[in-house]
Structure 1
């Protein structure tokens, strides 16, 4: 490719990237306007209803809404990306202002400080819409500092402060990593295709060369549309992680823990409900950890924490987490494990494996059906099995069932899940030196069996 062709090509790509950046920034501006308006309405209603602990919020939210509306109004200008950089700092300042003002008025300062982590995570995600990695990481660092100040004022331990800081940095990394890699891949593929077409153009007539260039521009536009689609998919996943899980989870878990301590000598039925809630929130926390651990498992960087595990206690913990789901669907969740059967492995990872298998079994078991958690030994080696009497898995799907993003027909038609649960389970079992597969068992439609080695290897690092 000649110097003139290279310059024109780079200018074309730069224009396309700039166009997509402005579109993404428009989305970020709209999110800020909508979010601040909704929060202002909720806070206003609570304040007017006499809740004095909400008094610090209306003024900063009103000022922030005005700034967000102004930013949305000028989103099409070329200088707006620099305004978005400044907006990230304003976002952090707003969250710190309102939460710092609310701490002295709250009956549970630690809960206010914990809830701030979800707000700062949202701010980091919004800052990543600038498509400038430095902005996202700078926002994460600034948010970590502000979060640390709030948590220490609420007398939260230094360990929790450090964990919150790590979470914010990981959110910034997850927000940037996928989009940057996809952008590099699209640019590399586009440049290769353009070079091939330009080389062919040199040996053709002028009209043929013009047709080739038009085809090249059409392909670039198609790839830009694909990039937008991938960006939307990434944004949906981040919204699921931040909005539906992390933001309310810390406050919810602390509330359940407080209720459990208050009800220690009270209503046993209500206490059981609170403990079920604690089990469910614990499972949600493990789901978040699963999403964060998956890349490290794939790259062999996840350090295992081996210990002696009582299989019966693991099965009981999982059973408690799914009590509500089984009762709702009138399912029988059985546990069959020999007393004293011990395993050597990472308890958290193996618990998440069993949870994934049980969730998958409950999804396919018809109402009134049975699901069994089973453990035992065969040929001196332990195994963990989850069986159900639902429909069996098609033979052609079994060889690739544990691959990434592979889903059954039900998930594809209902658009539920991401096809990661069984893939994570396979990586976690293989990290222990074992294997997992679908096996036939008399009386059961489907049986997932994880077979572990009889003696652990010397290495505790996932391979």
Structure 2
């Protein structure tokens, strides 16, 4: 039967096992069970083919013998013809799920067929004992075919039925009990041998099925890896395209900024020259003071424009501070004078507190713009009639400059984000507005000096911005 099975399955692949996404251990067991069942149906198909071919050959031979004058072969064609039809139906449905149960039911049908044929042949045969002996080979074939169900109970059940039928035929032919016992033992030995072969076949089918399931699982894993690789490659390509678009937008933004700065600085330079000429030509008095204030405002506007230009350079590390000794008082005084008119318009007190002789090391232009941005922010949020102080000093951590005001304090959860680019306070959390490029520039310029800008708690002042520079 092993050779027959091998010949039957030659050139065919194992049953296909589909591995679905979301693979689990229970899914593996289910697929394994399905594959084993598929193997069983495949073996049962082999049995159906054997029955169909064997019954057809028996029908052909017995019909020929009957037609050539063998009267003792008369019963065979009458029973074999319908059996061939049943075998043909079983062969047609061999791949359907119900084929496994039809294969189980086929075993007692085979026993009944053999018994019926031999029972009818006995009375008309000149050699009844020979007919009964011939039946033993047919029953042994039936027991062998039952092993294709891969079920031990079917094998032994068929052997038991065959033993009963064989014993009945032998006793009907007048054979002694000794020969009957030997026939029964022979059939049971055939069943035992077939059981062993069936067990080995089941192990082989299980092993082949596990190999097939493992192979299918490996194929599925490979497919998932390939799909993931393809997805990652596609996402990377999309990100590269987005980065290229962002770089193009960044270049366009920088070009636009340069154009705007150029267009702004041209009229601003003309205005500065006019105010400077007026200050020189006018006598001391209110008009001269107004020209001086105008010059301070244009200087502030020029520094704001420079902030726009310098932020990208600071971000990219292309702007290195020119560090030279500085007079801290002169730096703070320049800021105070540039913002004096703003403070006076809001009735704010803008003063300076500084220890005598405090010297700093840094870029005068950058640090002036840092303090001016912080002071502008303080003037915006200090209450009308309030106080803003420009302060400097030194402690164990080194020199520092501070801008303090008595406006509303900055919430703790906003302090870490306050100096990020274009960050503003949420209106529902505090009333501050306008945090953005000015504070961001101040942080970048301070860090370019190797220092640190932060909001620090200071007794008597709700808000204090402190620029700490390296010693």
- Tell me the TM-score range normalised by the shorter chain: 0.3 to 0.5
Q: With structure 1 as the length reference, what TM-score do the two structures score?
A: 0.45
Q: With structure 2 as the length reference, what TM-score do the two structures score?
A: 0.45
